Structure 1
Amino acid sequence: MADRSKTRARTAAPAKKRTFKQWSPVFLAELAITSNVSAAARKAGVHSAQAYEARRLHPEFNRAWQQALCEGYDYLEMELLSRLRSGEVKPATGAKRGVRAFDNATAFRLLSAHRESAARFRAVRHNQDAEAIVQSINAKLDAMRQRHLAALADGTAAHAAATVIDGDQ
């Protein structure tokens, strides 16, 4: 009976609390490798519920989470392709050498589970890239307008060149 109370006392001792900044990079790195939230949480030293709560509370962490899953999906896809090409050597009873096996059912299940979320994240990322391009073009156009206005104010030869660019002849 005394052994149980000692065990309880040991398990009841509070674990050192890690801050979000301490555990989140470890969690995201492991999530990218494993595509497994529970495994990533264990590696980071937090409960998976804490990771899910952080995902809800921190939009940037949520984006990084999706990026990590996308990376994990890409890694899994490459691993699956490697297995499809070369198989896995597994021990065989009564044989001196292993037998090459091509059992990929688990990998296919993981791929299908992550395919939609990875595709959705890629679409969002692509859309963000398009927005950045539009902002860059708008900034260049604004700079051209400023040069044009400066040329008009100066009344110099740059005015003639600027009006040709804008189409004001």
Structure 2
Amino acid sequence: MPDEKPVRSCSGTANPGRHWRKRFLETLAATSDIERAASAARVTVARAQQVRRTDTGFARDWQAAIADGYLNLEIEVIRRLREGDLMTANGDKFDFANAIRLLAARRDRAASAQHSQIRDVSAAEVRASIDRKIEDIRRRVARQKAARGEET
């Protein structure tokens, strides 16, 4: 990106290499804040997003970090409810209603995604799977008949 300035890594080089990824993911899991994670890792948000689009392993780890962030929020809500801790560190009232709505929406999206993964099988794939199972059964029956000395 032309307006992107190179960010210096801890070692002082303009290219942070692959070492920034761990720091980025740790910060993302802890804060659920992409800008903060990029800043902590000393990369631009655009760089992190570009790597996420091109590196499936990093994309998977990114999603795991986001999931950790939701888990952290859930734990925080539960802790606050148990302890009666209604205020944030800066004196504002903790927004339980929005936190719970966000967690419910996340749960619904996760359930929907899981459901769509189960249903995302083409008819051809189902037929091929059935054909393989039938062929396996035929072979097993033929072996059993051969073992008993029967004709196939």
With the shorter chain as reference, the TM-score category is: 0.5 to 0.7
Overall identity of the aligned pairs, in %: 26
**Structure 2 gap segments, 5+ residues each:** 1-11
The residue identity in structure 1 corresponding to 2:21 is S
**TM-score, normalising length: structure 1:** 0.53
Count of paired positions: 131
Distance in 1, matches of 2:21 and 2:29, equals 12
Distance in 2, matches of 1:104 and 1:86, equals 13
**TM-score, normalising length: structure 2:** 0.57
- Spell out the pairing of 1:107-146 with structure 2 (5 A cutoff): 109=98, 112=101, 116=105, 119-125=108-114, 127-128=116-117, 142=132, 145-146=135-136
Larger Rg: 1
Instruction: Supply the RMSD in Å over aligned alpha carbons.
Output: 4.2
Distance in 1, matches of 2:57 and 2:66, equals 14
Residue pair 1:32, 1:72 contacting (<8 A) in 2 also: yes
Residue pair 2:86, 2:94 contacting (<8 A) in 1 also: no
Residue pair 1:23, 1:46 contacting (<8 A) in 2 also: yes
Query: How far did 1:60 drift?
Result: 4.2
Query: How far did 1:142 drift?
Result: 4.2
The residue identity in structure 2 corresponding to 1:82 is R
Distance in 2, matches of 1:73 and 1:145, equals 46
Distance in 2, matches of 1:43 and 1:65, equals 15
Q: Deviations over 1:21-70 (max 9, x none)?
A: x2223322221221111221122221222112222333443343233212
Higher helix share: 1
Q: Deviations over 1:105-156 (max 9, x none)?
A: 2x6556656764564345324544777xxx9xx98x9478436415426743
**Structure 1 gap segments, 5+ residues each:** 1-13, 91-100, 161-169
Distance in 2, matches of 1:64 and 1:147, equals 41
For 1:19, the equivalent position in structure 2 comes to 17
